[in-house]
Amino acid sequence: MMSTNGSLSGFDGVEDILEKYIPPEHLGSVKRVLYGQNCGSPVAALALDPSVVQISKDADFDLKGFTFSALPEQLRPSRVVRVGLIQNKTPASTSLPFSEQRAAVHDRVGQLIDTAGAGGAKILCLQETWPIPFAFCTREKSWCEFAESAETGPSVALCQRAARRWGMVIICPILERDSAHGETIWNTAVVIGNNGNIIGKHRKNHIPRVGDFNESTYYMEGNTGHPVFETAFGRIAVNICYGRHHPMNWQVFAMNGAEIIFNPSATVGELSEPLWGIEARNAAIANGAFAVGINRVGTETFPNEFTSGDGKPAHTDFGHFYGSSYVAAPDGSRTPGLARHRDGLMLVDMDLNLCRQTKDKWGFQMTARYEMYAEFFQKYIQPDYQPQIIRDPSL
């Protein structure tokens, strides 16, 4: 039974309900406003290989496919790339030995990665710190054992093998142990090329201090700037989790040339679910780039109780990671989300030409007045900055 004030765990996504109950004569209008249109039509379904569909049934994960088109151009061929995104539960109990937990998540995510490869994905992104439970709520430092080298760690190596096998770029977000800098811990996305080589890495720019997101207990703000990775299949960037709340983080990745910005995340319903459909999509619109929001799924329970800074009793779970991973396009259209309760793989064909076409149409990049903002920020960062306030003189 679902409550009428909106239970967090009792339904499997807004789209299913809209499709089920809105009459056909209204559904198009509702979806046009809520999900936009791509080249004048609803975002199209992608025909998926029956063998891949069968794997998703046998292995019990959500599988969805969509296509974003662009207009044909006269002087440039279309540039369609198939992008994959994976959301997954932590499959093993957090009470098991760490080696067993790692083996379980490697098995499950390895299976999902191989399905993406078999489904033809050329760029694949996993969720934030996928090899470990999102244990930062506990503030217990033993979880740091899971941190691994961005160059030689076992989860990175798993992704390198898969990248080589499928000729697929893989973004592998991990908890990084930086032994070259005195065992510094980072929240990092490793970008692996389609030949299995490591192209580079990006470290999370913005670190939360809210709710159970005690990440600032574990690692600091990243020191890698806003890199864009030029891969065989497109120029991509990674805005890790909480960075999606910072419009400038998305923006600077796009200003550096990203055409797809991935947002591997781990976020829970009570805090952020109404924001989830807004932020990545706004970033796609504002910046003329595809934005890919990927959220963890399921409820993780930890061995020892902890409090959440909200005055409520100690407990052992983080709340429900609501999945709902989706892709937003620069023209304002978006896909439905993956399921709220199940592992999932989404395959999305996107014509990257849509990025420049949208920029040419809207012209945000030329009407942005960057000089004005450069000047503003120089002044604002001074401790004695005086805000531009005009007070009603009659008061």
Query: Could you tell me how many residues of this chain bind a second copy (CB under 8 A)?
Result: 104
DSSP letters spanning 136-203: GGG--GGGGGG-B-TTT-HHHHHHHHHHHHHT-EEEEEEEEEEGGGTSEEEEEEEEE-TTS-EEEEEE
Closest of 340, 347, 348 to residue 89, by C-alpha: 340
Q: List all residues 6 or more positions away from 363 whose beta carbon is below 8 Å from its beta carbon.
A: none
| Minimal distance, residue 313 CB to a second copy, in Å | 18
Cα three-residue angle 99-104-107, rounded to 5 degrees: 125
Q: Rounded distance, CA 334 to CA 43, Å? A: 7
Kindly state whether residue 72 participates in binding a second copy, applying the rule CB under 8 A. no
Residue 320 vs residues 65, 246, 323: alpha-carbon distances, Å: 25, 23, 9
Instruction: Identify which of residues 285 and 355 has a Cβ nearer to a second copy in the complex.
Output: 285
| Minimal distance, residue 116 CB to a second copy, in Å | 19
| Residues identified as active-site | 128, 204, 241
Instruction: Identify which of residues 16 and 49 has a Cβ nearer to a second copy in the complex.
Output: 16
Kindly state whether residue 96 participates in binding a second copy, applying the rule CB under 8 A. no
Instruction: Identify which of residues 100 and 377 has a Cβ nearer to a second copy in the complex.
Output: 377
Kindly state whether residue 67 participates in binding a second copy, applying the rule CB under 8 A. no
Judged by CB under 8 A, which stretch of 88-96, 99-107, 260-268, 384-392 contacts a second copy? 384-392
384 three-class SS = coil
Which tokens in the block code for residue 389? 């306030």
Kindly state whether residue 230 participates in binding a second copy, applying the rule CB under 8 A. yes
CA atoms within 13 A on the CB side of 344: 28
| Minimal distance, residue 132 CB to a second copy, in Å | 22
Q: List all residues 6 or more positions away from 306 whose beta carbon is below 8 Å from its beta carbon.
A: 137, 138, 139, 212, 314, 315, 316
Judged by CB under 8 A, which stretch of 11-19, 64-72, 84-92, 144-152 contacts a second copy? 11-19
Kindly state whether residue 26 participates in binding a second copy, applying the rule CB under 8 A. yes
Kindly state whether residue 165 participates in binding a second copy, applying the rule CB under 8 A. no
Instruction: Identify which of residues 92 and 268 has a Cβ nearer to a second copy in the complex.
Output: 268
Question: Contact with a second copy (CB under 8 A): which of 75, 311, 372, 383?
Answer: 372
Kindly state whether residue 74 participates in binding a second copy, applying the rule CB under 8 A. no
Kindly state whether residue 64 participates in binding a second copy, applying the rule CB under 8 A. no
Kindly state whether residue 380 participates in binding a second copy, applying the rule CB under 8 A. yes
Instruction: List the interface residues with a second copy, window 198-227 (CB under 8 A).
Output: 199-200, 205-210, 221, 225-227
Instruction: Identify which of residues 82 and 102 has a Cβ nearer to a second copy in the complex.
Output: 82
Q: Are strands 326-328 and 315-322 parallel, antiparallel or unpaired?
A: unpaired
Kindly state whether residue 139 participates in binding a second copy, applying the rule CB under 8 A. no
Question: Contact with a second copy (CB under 8 A): which of 264, 277, 298, 319?
Answer: 277
Kindly state whether residue 383 participates in binding a second copy, applying the rule CB under 8 A. no
| Minimal distance, residue 315 CB to a second copy, in Å | 18
Instruction: List the interface residues with a second copy, window 303-332 (CB under 8 A).
Output: 332
Q: List all residues 6 or more positions away from 332 whose beta carbon is below 8 Å from its beta carbon.
A: 36, 281, 284, 285
Kindly state whether residue 377 participates in binding a second copy, applying the rule CB under 8 A. yes
Instruction: Specify whether the CB–CB gap between 15 and 336 falls below 8 A.
Output: yes
Question: Contact with a second copy (CB under 8 A): which of 114, 232, 299, 317?
Answer: 232
Which tokens in the block code for residue 182? 């005195």
Kindly state whether residue 164 participates in binding a second copy, applying the rule CB under 8 A. no
Instruction: Specify whether the CB–CB gap between 344 and 32 falls below 8 A.
Output: no
Question: Contact with a second copy (CB under 8 A): which of 23, 50, 97, 311?
Answer: 23
Q: Rounded distance, CA 17 to CA 4, Å? A: 14
Instruction: Identify which of residues 304 and 361 has a Cβ nearer to a second copy in the complex.
Output: 361
Instruction: Identify which of residues 184 and 282 has a Cβ nearer to a second copy in the complex.
Output: 282
The conformation of residue 242, written as its DSSP 8-state character, comes to G
